[in-house]
């Protein structure tokens, strides 16, 4: 076969071989090519079945359950510059496709824009790699090795053709690895730089025209004790002659006040539950745009504290359908005596109302107390330029003292962590880091039994009875070897980030945005190190033992480790393209259905009792980049590492499908269905780029090791300079491009923008954030729940939160609560 044989001809030849093979009679052989072919087809059928079913179900349910599948659109209906999606079965698809990048930026902010930009970058890159792999690399691999990268076809071709001699191999063939390692690395870096420059340009224009409080505020840490007052901090900052200070919020140890507020939330919830038990809360008929069990709120009416008078007026006003009074008032048990073994029953409503009244008195008194200052403050300047100069300068000659950092949004601050001393935060941070290291070893041990399922030969050494049983049932073998490992692999990538999110929230970080960025870092380390590096090196249990046996001889033979890595990479190619099939064609479309929300809705519905509980049911689900970004980076790295191997065209094709489908689904969720409350102004992009560069370095090292393992020393050494160049570029990128993804350049700031906290009217609407994503007006989180309140200034919410009454059927206190909350902020009342 000539070197110039086209890729389609090679593919047709391999398909013909696979289809004409009939196999020998007798019991099924797990190493037979038909088995590998069955594995691939089984994975395709299962994944396509899941994906197509999910898409069709979503198209059917979307117009019926708009409260779930268009929750964000319903909540921000007047703020989002988005087109209405038609209710037809597939009519929403072209409308969503035509939504531009500018509309994404306006409606969902920089974080969503950056996230979708990564998907578009991956699509362009993988499309280019796929074309080159299919047109150039596929014929080369088939001409020299007879391999096309598909497990079942390669197994059949390798045995020879009717006694003919095997296909020849030639050392010059290995130069293909060197050339295309350089080509693909250059393409990746070029596209990465082009996308980075685009994001920097948009980010600078987007943020440079704002004058919000967040953009003009710095977080000043390491404040010495002699500067522990707002006046001294103001005097120090203005003494630097950088700019004028508008306000200073010195954080104080408000932990006792926060505890009182949390207690009040619990008592208020109990009081509302007791009132509902007494008054009753009848379910309303379901509406067409809600989930089947959704309960509508009754119409508003006046509320009078006296029970009988209230019920009489409600009945006169025709509200008897909303309430169903029972005869006896609810009671609560009070335990007392030695070891609290005795109790008495008292009226629950009276008890909780009295407890609420006492807590309100304690809170009012606590708000008037003076609390000891901490070493942290939020300083709001009168101009963005002054704030940017402060965060990019060294303010004090003493280490760890008076450090200026960018401030998070007011509602994004984790106030409880601002009270912690620096030593406590550092201890928590290092403790969590040590725990992550331990878990990395633990996850590696868990991957060993997953590896045993990849080959029956390995499984037979561990569990011979199960291996013999599977050998007698080819379909069961295909399901176990194809479905279970990839499913376990996928479930780990989904479940572990939830654990890491909980761990990150206990590291003492100052904002929820920092927590999310930390989750991205931790989850990627897990996905890349445990699910790729360790799994690739170890592979199966057999490889695990042989790896450590060969490691003893590694000092004698420098190519030992390279041989193991090269063998594992080529041997695990079928596992990885089946993993991409399951992820892209099967599991990604399932995200449209939001199974988590649908599964939890009936549980939350039947547990809900009060109007506040039912109002919480209508809140949009939360989209977390910490759960989505690491897995997508891992998929891209897998495609990059396999981009030169015989299976490159197949892996890159399914990787391209993953990012194409994922871009469309994530675009819908970010714009219409889900909410994202932490906005980090696109700071995830440099993290993405750095990890893509890590993947490029691993790809280059793997190709150098693979070529060296085949005794081609000179081509292998020629890849080494590329590894060094990539490392240098990573350093250059960090020094030159990363600051522009974190700070606002002084040249980008609009000088004629008034300091009113509003968006500059002169700025093009393409880069102006609408009110829906105003970083000064995010919802407040208190007591473990999201409050329908907008915090616009750096004030601890516990100091200004209105002490509202119970939310009962027929009365919604949220508008009144919001009005009182804004009144306190306008007064800038923050007692110290």
pLDDT at 75 over 60: yes
pLDDT at 765 over 90: no
**Which of 59-63, 113-117, 777-781 is predicted most confidently?**
113-117
More confident residue, 394 or 549: 394
pLDDT of residue 493: 81
- Local confidence band at 432 (pLDDT 50, 70, 90 cut-offs): very high
pTM for the whole structure? 0.82
How do residues 266-294 score in pLDDT, each as one tens digit?
999 999 989 888 887 654 544 445 555 44
Distance CA 495, CA 492 (A): 5
pLDDT at 386 over 70: yes
Looking at the domain assignment, is residue 374 inside a domain? Answer: no
More confident residue, 401 or 210: 401
Distance CA 471, CA 624 (A): 43
C-alpha distances out from residue 11 to 5, 14, 134, Å: 10, 5, 9
Mean pLDDT (whole number) for 2-27: 37
Q: Is the CA virtual torsion 667, 668, 669, 670 positive or negative?
A: positive
pLDDT at 182 over 90: yes
How do residues 212-238 score in pLDDT, each as one tens digit?
888 899 999 999 999 989 999 999 999
CA angle 777, 779, 781 (to 5 degrees): 135
User: Which secondary-structure segment (H or E) carries 781?
Assistant: strand 778-782
**Which of 340-349, 457-466, 732-741 is predicted most confidently?**
732-741
pLDDT at 49 over 80: yes
pLDDT of residue 449: 66
Distance CA 570, CA 154 (A): 12
Looking at the domain assignment, is residue 153 inside a domain? Answer: yes
pLDDT at 719 over 90: yes
Looking at the domain assignment, is residue 279 inside a domain? Answer: no
Distance CA 504, CA 514 (A): 9
How far, in whole angstroms, is CA 12 from its chain's centroid?
41
pLDDT of residue 607: 85
Distance CA 796, CA 413 (A): 9
Q: What is the 3-state secondary structure (H, E, C) of 551-611?
A: HCCCCCCCCHHHHHHHHHHHHCHHHHHHHHHHHHHHHHHHHHHCHHHHHHHHHHHHHCCCH
586-589 — which CB contacts under 8 Å span 24+ positions?
A: 586/46, 586/47, 586/48, 586/49, 586/50, 586/51, 587/47, 587/50, 587/490, 588/51, 588/658, 588/661, 588/662, 588/665, 589/50, 589/51, 589/52, 589/54, 589/55, 589/58, 589/661, 589/665
Do 414 and 509 touch, CB atoms closer than 8 A? yes
Looking at the domain assignment, is residue 477 inside a domain? Answer: yes
List the one residue out of 523, 469, 484, 479 whose CA is nearest residue 501.
523
- Local confidence band at 527 (pLDDT 50, 70, 90 cut-offs): confident
Looking at the domain assignment, is residue 646 inside a domain? Answer: yes
pLDDT at 763 over 50: no
Count of all residues that appear for the chain in the document: 832
- Give the pair of three-digit tokens for residue 476: 């069961």
How far, in whole angstroms, is CA 53 from its chain's centroid?
25
Looking at the domain assignment, is residue 300 inside a domain? Answer: no
Instruction: Report percent pLDDT > 90 for the chain.
Output: 36
* Tokens 């090519």 belong to residue: 33
Distance CA 825, CA 827 (A): 5
pLDDT of residue 107: 85
Beta strands in 666-763 (DSSP E): none
Specify the range with the lowest mean pLDDT, choosing from 23-37, 278-292, 347-361, 704-718.
Answer: 23-37
pLDDT at 380 over 60: yes
C-alpha distances out from residue 321 to 297, 299, 302, 617, 813, Å: 11, 11, 16, 22, 21
Do 749 and 761 touch, CB atoms closer than 8 A? no
Distance CA 767, CA 204 (A): 9
The residue segments making up the domain with residue 667 are 33-210+421-747
Number of domains in the chain: 1
Do 57 and 593 touch, CB atoms closer than 8 A? yes
Instruction: Report percent pLDDT > 70 for the chain.
Output: 72
The chain-wide mean pLDDT, for the chain, equals: 78
pLDDT at 742 over 50: yes
Distance CA 459, CA 465 (A): 9
Specify the range with the lowest mean pLDDT, choosing from 147-151, 261-265, 574-578.
Answer: 147-151
* Tokens 């006169």 belong to residue: 316
DSSP state of 775: T
Mean pLDDT (whole number) for 636-664: 94
Looking at the domain assignment, is residue 821 inside a domain? Answer: no
Work out the burial of residue 670: count CB atoms within 10 Å of its CB; fewer than 13 is exposed, 13-18 middle, 19 or more buried.
buried
pLDDT of residue 786: 64
Mean pLDDT (whole number) for 334-355: 88
Distance CA 163, CA 53 (A): 47
Using DSSP's 3-state secondary structure scheme, residue 220 falls into strand
Distance CA 99, CA 6 (A): 38
More confident residue, 474 or 383: 383
Residue 400, sorted as left (phi over 0), alpha (psi -120 to 50) or beta, turns out to be left
* CB within 8 Å of 122: residues ≥ 6 apart: 632, 636, 655, 659
Give the N- to C-terminal CA distance of the chain in Å, as an integer: 84
Mean pLDDT (whole number) for 105-127: 93
Mean pLDDT (whole number) for 631-638: 94
pLDDT at 376 over 90: yes
pLDDT of residue 66: 82
pLDDT at 78 over 80: no
pLDDT of residue 21: 40
Specify the range with the lowest mean pLDDT, choosing from 259-273, 684-698, 704-718.
Answer: 704-718
Mean pLDDT (whole number) for 130-141: 92
- Give the pair of three-digit tokens for residue 140: 């080369």
Do 129 and 638 touch, CB atoms closer than 8 A? no
- The backbone torsions φ and ψ at residue 246, rounded to the nearest 5 degrees and listed phi first, read -90, -45
* CB within 8 Å of 20: residues ≥ 6 apart: none
Looking at the domain assignment, is residue 408 inside a domain? Answer: no
Distance CA 544, CA 534 (A): 10
**Which of 143-152, 194-203, 277-286 is predicted most confidently?**
194-203
- Local confidence band at 559 (pLDDT 50, 70, 90 cut-offs): very low
List the one residue out of 552, 704, 831 whose CA is nearest residue 177.
704
More confident residue, 328 or 156: 328
Q: What is the 3-state secondary structure (H, E, C) of 293-355?
A: CCCCCCCCCCCCCCHHHHHHHHHHCCCCCCCCCCCCCCEEEEEECHHHCEEEEEEHHHHHHHH
């Amino acid at each position: 076969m000539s070197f110039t044989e086209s890729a389609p001809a090679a593919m047709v030849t391999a398909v013909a071989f696979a289809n004409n093979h009939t196999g020998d009679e007798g019991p099924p052989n797990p190493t037979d090519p038909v088995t590998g072919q069955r594995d691939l087809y089984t994975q395709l059928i299962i994944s396509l079945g899941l994906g197509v079913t999910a898409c069709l179900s979503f198209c059917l349910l979307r117009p019926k359950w708009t409260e779930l599948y268009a929750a964000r659109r319903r909540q921000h209906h007047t703020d989002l510059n988005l087109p209405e999606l038609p209710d037809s079965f597939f009519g929403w698809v072209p409308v969503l496709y035509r939504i531009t990048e500018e509309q994404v930026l306006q409606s969902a902010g920089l974080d969503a824009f950056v996230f979708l930009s990564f998907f578009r970058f991956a699509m362009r890159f993988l499309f280019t790699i796929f074309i080159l792999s299919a047109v150039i690399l596929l014929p080369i691999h088939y001409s020299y090795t007879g391999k096309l990268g598909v497990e079942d076809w390669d197994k059949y071709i390798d045995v020879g053709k009717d006694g003919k001699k095997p296909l020849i191999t030639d050392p010059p063939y290995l130069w293909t690895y060197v050339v295309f390692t350089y080509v693909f690395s250059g393409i990746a870096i070029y596209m990465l730089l082009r996308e980075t420059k685009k994001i920097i340009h948009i980010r600078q224009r987007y943020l440079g025209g704002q004058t919000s409080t967040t953009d003009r505020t710095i977080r000043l840490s390491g404040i010495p004790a002699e500067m522990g007052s707002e006046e001294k901090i103001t005097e120090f900052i203005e003494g630097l002659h950088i700019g004028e200070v508008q306000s200073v919020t010195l954080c104080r140890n408000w932990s006792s006040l926060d505890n009182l507020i949390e207690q009040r939330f619990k008592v208020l919830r109990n009081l509302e539950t007791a009132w509902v038990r007494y008054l009753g809360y009848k379910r309303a008929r379901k509406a067409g745009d809600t989930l089947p069990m959704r309960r509508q709120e009754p119409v508003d009416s006046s509320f009078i504290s006296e029970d009988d008078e209230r019920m009489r007026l409600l009945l006169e006003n025709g509200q008897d359908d909303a309430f169903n009074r029972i005869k006896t008032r609810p009671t609560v048990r009070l335990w007392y005596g030695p070891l609290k073994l005795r109790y008495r029953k008292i009226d629950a409503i009276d008890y909780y109302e009295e407890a609420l009244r006492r807590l309100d008195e304690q809170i009012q008194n606590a708000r008037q107390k003076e609390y000891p200052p901490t070493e942290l403050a939020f300083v709001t300047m009168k101009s963005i330029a002054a704030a940017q100069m402060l965060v990019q300068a060294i303010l004090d000659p003493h280490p760890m003292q008076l450090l200026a950092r960018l401030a998070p949004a007011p509602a994004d601050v984790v106030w409880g962590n601002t009270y912690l001393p620096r030593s406590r935060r550092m201890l928590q941070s290092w403790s969590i880091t040590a725990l992550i290291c331990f878990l990395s070893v633990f996850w590696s041990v868990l991957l060993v039994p997953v590896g045993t399922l990849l080959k029956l030969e390995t499984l037979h050494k561990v569990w011979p009875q199960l291996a013999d049983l599977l050998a007698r049932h080819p379909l069961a073998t295909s399901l176990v070897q194809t479905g279970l490992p990839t499913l376990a692999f996928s479930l780990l990538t989904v479940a572990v980030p939830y654990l890491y999110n909980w761990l990150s929230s206990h590291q003492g970080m100052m904002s929820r945005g920092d927590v999310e960025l930390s989750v991205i870092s931790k989850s990627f380390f897990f996905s890349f190190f445990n699910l790729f590096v360790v799994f690739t090196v170890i592979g199966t249990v057999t490889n695990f033992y042989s790896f450590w046996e060969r490691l003893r001889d590694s000092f004698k033979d420098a190519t030992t480790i390279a041989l193991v890595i090269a063998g594992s990479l080529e041997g695990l190619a079928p596992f990885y393209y089946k993993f991409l099939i399951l992820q892209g064609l099967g599991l990604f479309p399932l995200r449209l259905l939001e199974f988590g929300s649908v599964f939890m809705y009936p549980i939350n519905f039947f547990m809900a009792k009060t109007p506040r509980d039912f109002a919480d049911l209508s809140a949009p689900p939360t989209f977390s980049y910490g759960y989505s970004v690491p897995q997508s980076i891992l998929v891209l790295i897998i495609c990059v590492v396999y981009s030169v191997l015989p299976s490159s065209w197949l892996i890159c094709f399914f990787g391209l499908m993953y990012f194409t489908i994922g871009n469309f689904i994530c675009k819908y969720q970010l714009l219409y269905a889900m909410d994202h409350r932490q906005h980090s102004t696109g700071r995830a992009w440099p993290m993405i780029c750095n990890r893509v560069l890590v993947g490029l370095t691993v790809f280059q090292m793997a190709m150098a090791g693979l070529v060296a393992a085949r005794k081609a020393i000179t081509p292998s050494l020629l890849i080494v300079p590329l590894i060094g160049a990539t490392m240098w570029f990573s350093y250059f990128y960090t020094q030159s491009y990363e600051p522009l993804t974190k700070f606002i350049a002084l040249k980008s700031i609009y000088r004629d923008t008034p300091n009113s906290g509003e968006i500059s009217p002169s700025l093009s609407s393409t880069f102006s954030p609408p009110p829906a994503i105003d970083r000064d007006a995010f919802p407040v989180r208190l007591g473990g729940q999201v409050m329908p309140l907008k915090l616009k200034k750096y004030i601890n919410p516990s100091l200004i939160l209105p002490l509202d009454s119970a939310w009962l059927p027929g009365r919604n206190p949220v508008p009144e609560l919001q009005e009182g909350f804004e009144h306190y902020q306008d007064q800038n009342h923050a007692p110290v």
